[in-house]
Structure 1
Amino acid sequence: MHCQAGQVTVIVLAMKPRVLVLGDQQSMVDAAVKLGAEVWWAQHSERVRPGEAAATAVTLLADYTEPAFVDLVAHLHLLRPFDAVVSIQEHALLSLAALNERLGLSGPGRETVRIVTDKWAMRTRLAERGLSPVAAALGRTADDLRAFGAERGFPFMAKPVAATGSFGVVRVEPDEVEAVVKRFAGTGASAFLMEEYLDGPEISVESFTFAGRHVVLALTDKLIGQGFVEGGHTVPATLDEAVVAEVVELVGTFLDAVGLTDGPSHVEVKLTSDGPRVVEGHCRRGGDRINELVRLAYGVDMEELTVAWALGQAEPLAGPPPALRASAIKFADAPCGELVAVTGEEQVLADPDVTEVRVLYEAGQHIGPVRWSGDRAGYVIATGSTPEEAAARAAAGAARLEFGVKPAGPSSVRPEDRNLSRENDLSRHVGYQRTDGTADD
């Protein structure tokens, strides 16, 4: 832009906003580029795939979970200031929050992220506020499990104190106590969370917070599959208006309790016979392609909104958006073994209401039992005029996918639980010592 000031011509250069994206989510990079930003991308060196960094101005090959990374970015900020730091990766949120506070940027703060990451801290905070009562305790031994069962009754739930992707969640029966302790010990965990068993169906609530005001975007039905790992989701959830109002009020109070002031959230809720109860919450959009389900059903892309709000380029939503249609995802079942081939994809895509089909394994890879969300073999996303219609179309599509496998040798078996837990377990970052000697920094 040029402007005349007497005989002097002043040239004002329009600078692109600068965004730092943490973690391996290409869609966040794409959203920032779409908004006209200069994108810097932080990623572990072993996770950068060919061509993936093409849209970024700078790629930082670093472990963004380490405190030293926060210092590095703070120094870079002095030279090339960042207008926003964003991420939707669970394991990146603690660093994201530290950077938000240190650089004075919009987004969740460290205390908020710590509370929702540490499930025991979350239960403690809710108990202090008298909100969503759920009996819970921190356990370390078989005696702890037996004592909790004796006091609260069997069965009850046990899970890692800070993990994601439904990894390690078990229902504890009286005759399974020793096996449960052995399982947690095998992953290197020194502590686990024990919670009363909550009856009823589970849903999730997708929201966005604008300067302290929470707007619910969607309520999502869950289909729970093997090992308490989700087998599918449908948007919107089919619920009575009175239940919806109760859930919306609970989630808003929960987000206030953990101190979320800006950005997306994903809160899991059980609809028990005693009313809705919070299972856990996250300061990010939901996984399992829920962002795509919300976009299809309501026309709101939570990833793009996250970047735009952080950059000051989005107006706050006045209220929940109207539904345009229903959408659903169904994860495909597959036998264990070495994948040879998958058939049926073309037939599934022939349905005009199917919007996406994806197989998550390549030929030669080993398909194992479903222990967490990363173990699922593939999925189908479909739309419909009603939730029931969308869910039926997605389920029919997933059933058409046929996975041809052959028995795999020992060398093809995937990593043991300890290695898998080490990647998904965030407890060391919030102060829990692991039995392998690592703790938070």
Structure 2
Amino acid sequence: MRTSAVKSVLFVGGKRTEALEAARNSGLRVIYAGPKADMTERHHELVDAAFLFPEFSPELALRAATALRDVVPFDLAYTAGDQYLETVARINHQLGLKSNPLRTVSAVDDKALMREVLRGTGVRQVASATIRHLSDLEEFVTSNGFPLILKPSRGSASKDIHIISDAAELAAVAVGPAFTGNAPAGGAASWVAEEFLEGREFSVETHSAAGRHQILAVTEKFKTEGFVEIGHVVPARITAAEHTLLTDETRAVLTALGVEEGPAHTELILTAKGPALVETHTRPGGDAIVELIRIVAGYDIHEMTFSWLSGEPADVSHEPLAGGAAIWFLTAEQGRVTAVAGEPEARSSEGVRFASLSAAVGDVISEVRSSADRHGEALAVGEDADSALRNAREAVARFLVTVEPLDPAGDPVHG
């Protein structure tokens, strides 16, 4: 049981309402503070009070939360959105509210800081360095060689990740959008360089209560060559020994970082030498992983979170609904969309629970560089992971997106 039960919670930001609904179902009073653009009709139905900003800023949110607590008291600030996690941690820290420590959330939010915090712990060490200048990157290459990964220390959604395999690619990155002059683009924002980890990638989904990390599922992940996620399946197709390796390393990571409570989504690569951490997040996994876990393992992450916060046991579970569940994403050809079809056919495919095509006539489809560059998805179930994955991929294959190629100026290419 949580030593201090929560009776009211301040949600900061977020367009999705599943966590709000779980808080309501646990009997909590719900207050909302966030950008006006995030607020939906469903939010209005679920919240007792709301404070909306024209645009979000961490400083404004912190001041608003402090003022709100005198008018509509709350016991904890909470969010499931990456961009709000550190702001929420600062609110809880400043107001003395029990939650994950600010340093923990800051380390999770900043990949360079995360590596520093984990250095010297029992977690497998990954060679890394904070990159503020081109000379930092060149020094890392001298010490660790090629290939290497370069990514924003505070990046998300698989955006702006570079693999640098040789001196020619290093030179290209040095004059590319990642650097302005001799420093990373964005001024004070830093990047992190890491050794390239070769192997299959997984994420371990957990819920922590008083520092005890409960394993909910291991998710198998699929990515493009540019590291953008295009599919997930639960359960991961791994051996019992591999499952133990991944989950033991995850528990070690969360403990070393000081994670005390709530959901976490930890990404690892299973190398020939064992699992190695990519990154972790003190929030549920995205891309409908929450739903995959609910279907296959019977755990509702949001329900667990607010059961724990309200003073009840966290290890609630339900009967699994299928042996496997998977989601797959559409990555269409580049060009201007001239026709779309196939959404009804995808929705009626075997095992499909949800299918949506977001590409529309007139859209310009560019290179897949982040999660925002995907244009459709299908979630499907099956008797096991293989059949669920097959059903999801076959459903996505029914989407038809016709494009006309464009030249660099954005004009149609006629040939």
- After TM superposition, the score normalised by the length of structure 2 is 0.88
Give the CA deviation at 1:31: 2.7
Matched residue, 1:23:
13
Report if the CA contact (8 A) 1:84-1:311 is conserved: no
Sort the Cα spacing of 1:342 and 1:304 in 2 relative to 1 into closer, same or farther, 3 A.
farther
Aligned residue pair count = 397
Matched residue, 1:175:
168
Q: Give the letter aligned to residue 288 of structure 1.
A: D
Give the CA deviation at 1:76: 1.6
Unaligned runs of 5+ in 2: 1-5
Report if the CA contact (8 A) 1:226-1:370 is conserved: no
Report if the CA contact (8 A) 2:128-2:192 is conserved: yes
Report if the CA contact (8 A) 2:336-2:363 is conserved: yes
Q: State percent identity of aligned pairs.
A: 32
Q: Give the letter aligned to residue 44 of structure 2.
A: A
Query: In the aligned structure 1, how far is the partner of 2:319 from the partner of 2:198?
Result: 30
Matched residue, 1:129:
121
Matched residue, 1:221:
220
Matched residue, 1:185:
179
Give the CA deviation at 1:322: 7.2
Q: Give the letter aligned to residue 108 of structure 1.
A: N
Does residue 1:386 correspond to 2:384, yes or no?
yes
Sort the Cα spacing of 1:68 and 1:52 in 2 relative to 1 into closer, same or farther, 3 A.
closer
Q: Give the letter aligned to residue 185 of structure 1.
A: F
SS in 1 for 2:120: helix
* Counterpart pick for 1:95 among 87, 98, 109: 87
Query: In the aligned structure 1, how far is the partner of 2:45 from the partner of 2:407?
Result: 38
Report if the CA contact (8 A) 1:159-1:169 is conserved: yes
Give the CA deviation at 1:327: 0.5
Q: Tell me the alpha carbon deviations over residues 166-214 of structure 1, each in whole angstroms, 9 at most, x when there is no partner.
A: 1111101221113223221264255311111111111000000011110
Report if the CA contact (8 A) 2:218-2:234 is conserved: yes
SS in 2 for 1:165: coil
Sort the Cα spacing of 1:23 and 1:342 in 2 relative to 1 into closer, same or farther, 3 A.
farther
Matched residue, 1:366:
364
Give the CA deviation at 1:375: 1.6
Give the CA deviation at 1:369: 1.6
* Counterpart pick for 2:34 among 43, 57, 63: 43
- After TM superposition, the score normalised by the length of structure 1 is 0.83
Q: CA RMSD in A?
A: 2.7
Report if the CA contact (8 A) 1:135-1:195 is conserved: yes
Query: In the aligned structure 2, how far is the partner of 1:373 from the partner of 1:153?
Result: 29
Query: In the aligned structure 2, how far is the partner of 1:234 from the partner of 1:400?
Result: 19
Sort the Cα spacing of 1:323 and 1:276 in 2 relative to 1 into closer, same or farther, 3 A.
farther
Q: Give the letter aligned to residue 102 of structure 1.
A: Q
Query: In the aligned structure 2, how far is the partner of 1:303 from the partner of 1:353?
Result: 25
Report if the CA contact (8 A) 2:228-2:369 is conserved: yes
Matched residue, 1:335:
333
Unaligned runs of 5+ in 1: 1-15, 414-441
Q: Tell me the alpha carbon deviations over residues 283-338 of structure 1, each in whole angstroms, 9 at most, x when there is no partner.
A: 000111111111111121212322332233x4122899978521001111212234
Give the CA deviation at 1:135: 0.8
